[in-house]
Structure 1
Amino acid sequence: MFSLHSARLRTVLTGLALTGLAVTTAQGFASAAPAPVHERGAARASVVDTIEDGAARSLALSLADRAWQRQVSGALAQGKAVGLRGLTAGSATRGANGLGAHIAQADRQVADAKGLGADAGSLLQVRLVGAAAEGVEPLVASSPSDDNATVVVAYDSAGKAYELAADHAPDRPVYLVDVDTDKATEAGLKVLRDELAAAGLQAPAAAPVNTAAAATGYWTTRVTAVTVSDVKEPWFKGAAEIFDLVTGFGLDGKVRVDTVTMPYLDDENKTYYPNQILVNWSLYKYNLADVVMMEDDGDTNYSALAKAIAAVLLTITDQGAYIPLANAVIDAMPASWWTDDPDYVDSWYTLATTTTGTRTGAAGNGKMTFDRYYVSAL
């Protein structure tokens, strides 16, 4: 699994040998403070980074309870991510009991940092990187949100910190704490849609607004194949969730933004054949629309993203002819977000009702093949 990124966001990660760096040993879960920012290879430490790092250190300290350590090892043996809150709730060990309250609080803090609200549920998860080895105690690390981090800080059960090279997989097992992006993106896009709708940028799409189209059916642009390249994904990244912002002018003449998710986009340079509807033309005034492809790998604040986009798009009015909107969406994002937050992947300008065939995105990072597809009325 990986995170997709534009070439403008990428730099080559420098090599660092695996070294040990002792720091203060925490005496309990309450004192499991996150590592200083400089210990992340001078990378920008976001709010979510800080929360994840504290959760990782607390998990590491809890593994001093060998009964709990064996349970965690068994749960992660298959290499699949496991929710931390569920993992602690399902154990009666001393280590799990001490950790549970910290993880519950960290989940609430992550939800708040991502603008998801109190009903987002459990978001922090843990997975095994590398193979477990008998007699080798796994370290516990969190995934930095910045792909350009040169080191990943990990902890052992005594609270000692180590710097792991970010440019190659570690030579010992590591439990990696990060955000469940599947769950976070689902909740986040709902926030995005709700806030855009509240701003008048997304009319309800349960049925076509065009009454004639509703009676007979309507034309769509469908994605029959999609490929994204240039990912250079570091080992510490988990799954990324891809979503598209489709922009155009609604039938009321106001700017409209629709969201389309592409959760199947997992591997670089692999072609997927989703046959997925991208644009419902019955919702748009003109026969042109733009598409901006983005991804969330843990750090996106969807409420802030919606407000930033709305603030720019609400200033654009219908001039009686189509105006490309992709640049406005991209420019709306604060400069700080380009480190890794909701990463720009690529964009496709002026898709038309007649667009067919394969088109490479403006950033040269993605290709999509389109066809016309008519959706008949029932």
Structure 2
Amino acid sequence: MFAQRQLRAALTALALSGLALTALQGTAGAADAPTATASATAETSPVASIEESTARALARSLAEPAWHRQVAEAALADEEVDLLALTARSAAQPAVDLRTTLAEAETAIAKAKGLGTDTGSLLRVSLAGKPVRASALARISPLVASAPADDDADVVIAYDSAGNAHELNAGKAPERPVYVVGVDGQKALAAGLEVIDRELAAQGLGTLSTPKTHTSAAGSAAVASTGFWTTRIKSVSVADLKEPWFKGDAEIFTLVTGFGTDGKVRVDTVTMPYLDDENTTYYPNQILVNWSNYKYNLADAVLMEDDGDTNYSSLAKALATALLTITDQGMYTPLVNALIDAMPTSWWTDDPDYVDSFYTLARETADSRTGASANARMTVERYYVSAL
């Protein structure tokens, strides 16, 4: 399902599928309300609503031939194109007008995802459909769509440069090129995990950087001047990434949790940007657990997949609220269930999906493990990080 996961072919070959292009009843003008399908999405998914509005605005702007040529060349040169940056490089009036719309959309996207204003631009456009040369692409009447928030959507709504809405079959690749508007998932995830780290650290549930000292179980300060032990991922694979094929690459992250050296629950975030395809083994040699952060010789890891609408600020607050109620009983207690229960799934429609969990990883663990849900498999090893 994830075999050829490149935005040009997948995210993008998207549910934007099939050019069984059927114009919806009625013509959607520039100020018209979205179709019924789009409206339902807009009510439940703020990010999807912004993406859909951006797709309509981009489609209308492409009525100008010179600007359309610039977009076509950029989309063929890159798998995903930064829309705000692209408009900044163009003097065409439609690009200038679109830039104002994009600036407002970027602010709204950052707010909807609980990110700071310093995150930078997130909206991207990619190309789906039959391969074509730039000169030919610029001559084709463009269609612009955005991926629906609903994983089970049957159709994708696309717009032409006149503002007409079309339904694309979600099960077939389009016979003509289609531009797809979406969010840079990896950039948003990286910024979002920083938000979570900051919030949890402020609540005493983590730190923003690896400490040079830590407190032992007996309470004495031990200086880790020579280095520290970690658990490192040698290989990892996932059978089901919980991500529909029309969404593009998965954004996988892991929440590592245990009791910190102060006896409080601790959560460390780990991003896994390489983990794109199902049933594919990756060899990242990535550090998963830094044992100098933990009081006990055990920790848990929960793999999650971000589906797009996650509000990271809200997620961090929900995690902190739930985990602050758990106290150290003088022995290790698995925290996976408490962490999963804390996920505020009612706060967004396209919510982070549970992928799998690994209970009671020990500092001495050096073997292959299958997750509790038999969905993910990891081979880990002990690894010592020496001080400089």
Common fold by TM > 0.5: yes
The aligned residue for residue 140 of structure 1 is 144
Deviation (angstroms), 1:25: 4.1
- The letter for the 2-side match of 1:101 is T
The aligned residue for residue 179 of structure 1 is 183
1:1-378 paired onto structure 2 within 5 Å? 18-22=20-24, 24-25=26-27, 27-28=29-30, 31=31, 33-36=33-36, 38-39=37-38, 45-133=44-132, 134=136, 135-210=139-214, 211-212=221-222, 214-231=224-241, 234-336=244-346, 340-378=350-388
- Aligned to 2:246, the other structure's residue is in SS state coil
Q: Deviations over 1:200-238 (max 9, x none)?
A: 111343334335360333221110001112248545313
- The letter for the 2-side match of 1:167 is G
Q: Deviations over 1:283-331 (max 9, x none)?
A: 1111110101112243211001101111110000000111111111111
The aligned residue for residue 217 of structure 2 is none
CA distance in 2, matches of 1:209, 1:105: 45
Q: Deviations over 1:14-43 (max 9, x none)?
A: x98824133554554xx265444x348879
CA distance in 2, matches of 1:370, 1:44: 43
Deviation (angstroms), 1:132: 4.7
- The letter for the 1-side match of 2:289 is V
Query: Kindly tell me: are residues 308 and 123 of structure 1, through their superposed partners in 2, closer, same or farther at Cα, counting changes over 3 Å?
Result: same
Which blocks of at least 5 consecutive residues in structure 1 are unaligned?
4-12
Contact map agreement 2:41 2:149 (CA 8 A) in 1: no
- The letter for the 1-side match of 2:345 is A
Instruction: Give the superposed CA RMSD.
Output: 2.5
Q: Deviations over 1:170-191 (max 9, x none)?
A: 2221101000112211211111
Decide which moves more: 15-24 or 166-175.
Answer: 15-24
- The letter for the 2-side match of 1:76 is A
CA distance in 2, matches of 1:153, 1:27: 14
Contact map agreement 1:178 1:298 (CA 8 A) in 2: no
- The letter for the 2-side match of 1:277 is I
Contact map agreement 1:290 1:350 (CA 8 A) in 2: yes
- The letter for the 1-side match of 2:233 is V
- The letter for the 2-side match of 1:47 is P
- The letter for the 2-side match of 1:288 is L
Q: Deviations over 1:240-263 (max 9, x none)?
A: 322111000001100000111111
Contact map agreement 1:82 1:125 (CA 8 A) in 2: yes
CA distance in 1, matches of 2:232, 2:65: 53
CA distance in 2, matches of 1:115, 1:221: 31
Deviation (angstroms), 1:109: 0.2
Deviation (angstroms), 1:119: 1.6
Which blocks of at least 5 consecutive residues in structure 2 are unaligned?
7-14, 215-220
Deviation (angstroms), 1:359: 0.8
Query: Kindly tell me: are residues 16 and 87 of structure 1, through their superposed partners in 2, closer, same or farther at Cα, counting changes over 3 Å?
Result: closer
Contact map agreement 1:245 1:292 (CA 8 A) in 2: yes
CA distance in 2, matches of 1:213, 1:130: 57
TM-score (norm 2): 0.87
- The letter for the 2-side match of 1:315 is T
CA distance in 2, matches of 1:63, 1:121: 24
Query: Kindly tell me: are residues 50 and 118 of structure 1, through their superposed partners in 2, closer, same or farther at Cα, counting changes over 3 Å?
Result: same
- Aligned to 1:141, the other structure's residue is in SS state strand
Deviation (angstroms), 1:95: 1.7
Deviation (angstroms), 1:99: 1.1
- Aligned to 1:119, the other structure's residue is in SS state coil
CA distance in 2, matches of 1:291, 1:364: 14
CA distance in 2, matches of 1:26, 1:99: 18
- The letter for the 2-side match of 1:18 is A
Contact map agreement 2:304 2:354 (CA 8 A) in 1: yes
Q: Deviations over 1:314-373 (max 9, x none)?
A: 000000111111111111112336853222221111111121211111222211101111
